[in-house]
Structure formats: C-alpha cells, structure tokens
Homo-oligomer: A and B are copies of this chain.
Amino acid sequence: MSEAPPAGVLTVDLDAIARNFRMLADRVQPAECAAVVKADAYGLGAAEVAPALVRAECHNFFVAQLGEGVALRRTLRRVKSNATIYVLSGLMENERALFEANGLVPCLNDLGQLENWTAFCRARGQKLPCALHIDTGMNRLGLPPAELDQLADDPKRLVGVELWLIMSHLACADETDHPMNRRQLGRFRAALDRLPHCRASLAASSGIFLGREFLFNTVRPGVALYGANPTPGAPNPMAQVIRLQGRILQVRDVDRGETVGYGATHRFTRPRRIATVSVGYADGFLRSLSNRGSAAMGGVTAPIVGRVSMDLLTLDVSAAPPESARPGAMVELIGPSRSIDDVAAEAGTIPYEILTALGPRYERHYTGGAGSTE
C-alpha cells in the first residue's frame, strides 16, 4: 500500500443534493431555484457539488466571497456551464476588474458600491449586471433604510448598471411564527414598490417553507440542499446527504470508578467497554459534543464518554456487538441513523456549523453525480 488508510471517511451523496435541488425547484415553481454554494458548498466541496447542481439544471449560484466566485467560475467552465454567479459580500473598489473578468455579479450592499459599479460600467462603456441587496432588518449586509430612501428618490442612480436582482435576507426564517418574517416581508415589498421593476429574491432554505408570498422570483436554498431540515420542529423534507465514519483504534474494558479523557469528566459507575475513535475536534467534530454526542454501530447507539479531544473521541460500546466494536471497524458519526440536525442539537449549534466544520483529514468519497469516486 502506498496511501495511509483514512482515520475518518466523509461520503457525500451528490445524487441526494441533486434530488433536494429538484424537489425545491418543483416546489417553488414558477419561481426560479438558485443554489447557495458559499463556504465551499457548506464544507462539502463546491468543485464536486456545483457540477452536480448544474446537471440538475441549476442556472444561478450564490457565493459569499469574490475568491469563491472566481473558483466557482473555473469549475463551471470545466463543465461547460455559463450559469450566473452572485457574490454576496459586495464590491470593493479594487475588485471590479476581477468581477468582470470572471463574469461575476456583485450583490451591491450600499450606495457607495452602486456608484463604484456605475463608474466602472461607464469606464468600460457597457452596463454590467449587478444585484441590489436591501436590508429589511437583518442589519448585516444591504442598503439601510436611509440609503433606500435616497435611491428611491433618485432612481437614475441605477441607470448605468444592469440590475438583475433585488434581494434581501430573512433573520428568523427558521422560526415560522417569528414576527420578523412578516415585518421583513412587508419592508421588502415596500422597497420593491419604490424601485424600478426587477426580479426579486427573499427566501433561503427556511424561507421557502414560510408561504408562497415569500418566494418572489428567485429562491436561494443552501443548507437544505445539503440535507439539513429547513423546517425545524417538523419532519425533514430533505434527503440526507452526508455520512461521516470514524475508525476504531483501540477497545478496552474499564472498571467502575475509572475516568476517561481530559479533565476526567466522565466517571464509570460500573464496568464498561470503551472504544477510541480517530476523529476529534481538529476534524470539526466539535468539542461541545463531549459527553453528549454518540455514534451508531452494529445496530446500537454508542454514547460519547468523556471529552472529545483533538484527534480522538471515546465511545461506550458496551452494548455493541463485538464484531462492530473492534480495532479497525468504522463507526457512524453522521449518517442514516444520526442526522446533521441530531448532531447539531447535541453540540448546541445548528447543522450549518456541523457541515462547515468538517475537517481536512477525512478521506472524501463522492457518490452519484457524473461518476462515483467510491
């Protein structure tokens, strides 16, 4: 053998991502379904995920940063797609040529950025596409109310550019009854009424499920494509996408009264069998899963005992059949029997962070799509 065997294996089901995309695209018709592939497709690999989405007939992508847009354009060229790429982080003065050279559409977040793009268009002698991000209460990115007023009073500020999309972003879409949802919807509609007619987009993954009035012309799902539940509290309508397995390095019997791991935080009250697995928080398996998470193996659930350490975690495998609790065997940390939503809840965070934390040491397998690497 020339390669070291993997300590952990991350399997990404590209067909499941494509199915999730098509399900959402069907659901929102006649609105258009874009795909958010920022943060390297939420940690799953934009270079593999985006082509699978192209095959599912996705024509519009969103990324967070210019660098991500440049990389995605390269990927899309490779698969002969000329899909639109929107860059959410906006536009800095010195980035304009890079946007144009890569055919990227900046989501302009303030009037300064609009002026910047207008000046660039003038200098280039052509109207270049852009989106306009209106802040409706998230207070993170987008035109604040005072700038919206200025723009509405002076719409010729938009004359020099090609406005493809007016967008905003919901702060509380995962809480169906949160008053922010209706408030932001109202503000977004009011903004659209005051601006030149244009395609509009408000909903991301959870927003799609708030009602058809949230759909407008384009929806922008991200985490739902990757299998997280966009409707927390209700059954998950999405297909699971990832499976994460870790390898058992050692199995041992411990006596009553013994402790395990850093800080000796778990003390055994009776004799147990424990297994050490070669996945830790350096692999993005968050340390907050210490004494809380679990793994599936041989048809049983094996709870994490003690703290998750950098490269290792320990499971109570007393209930597991011996053939699955042996050195070299793989345990399932995320997968059919343990969703990313489950793991997120145990870690005290959201599935988005479980995904984006997935570390570089896993051997990554992609199934489905054009060709499987398994």
Contacts and interface: CB of A to CB of B under 8 A. Distances in A.
Interface of A: 1-7, 38-40, 42-43, 64-70, 88-90, 92-95, 97-98, 109-110, 112, 135, 137-141, 144, 171-172, 175, 178, 180, 249-250, 252-254, 258-264, 274, 276, 278, 280-282, 284, 286-288, 306, 309-312, 314, 327-328, 348-350, 352-353, 356-357, 359-361
A261 B180 CA distance: 11
A252 B310 contact: no
Contacts of A178: 264
Given A88-B311, A89-B7, A327-B92, A172 B264 contact: yes
A139 B263 contact: no
| Pairs A-B, 7 closest by C-beta atoms | A39-B282, A4-B67, A64-B311, A282-B356, A4-B66, A139-B260, A144-B252
Contact of A172 (B110, B260, B263): B263
B138 A311 contact: no
Given A356-B282, A360-B40, A98 B4 contact: yes
A306 B169 CA distance: 15
Given A139-B254, A360-B360, A5 B180 contact: no
A229 to B, nearest CB: 16
Dominant secondary structure at the A interface: loop
A98, A112, A139 — most chain B CB neighbours (10 Å): A139
A261 B171 contact: yes
A263 B90 contact: no
A333 to B, nearest CB: 16
Contact of A7 (B65, B258, B263, B287): B65
A90 B356 contact: no
Given A65-B361, A141-B250, A98 B312 contact: no
Contact of A89 (B66, B311, B357): B311
Contacts of A93: 328
Contact of A259 (B90, B137, B276): B137
A191 to B, nearest CB: 16
A345 to B, nearest CB: 14
Contact of A312 (B140, B258, B348): B140
Contacts of A314: 139-140
A272 to B, nearest CB: 10
B353 A89 contact: no
Contacts of A4: 65-67, 69-70, 95, 98
Contact of A5 (B95, B112, B172): B95
Given A7-B65, A92-B5, A260-B139, A287 B250 contact: no
A97 B3 CA distance: 10
B309 A140 contact: yes
Contact of A252 (B40, B92, B139): B139
5 contacts: A1-B97, A39-B282, A65-B311, A180-B264, A360-B360
A278 B89 contact: yes
Nearest to A278: B89
A282 B360 contact: no
Contacts of A88: 311
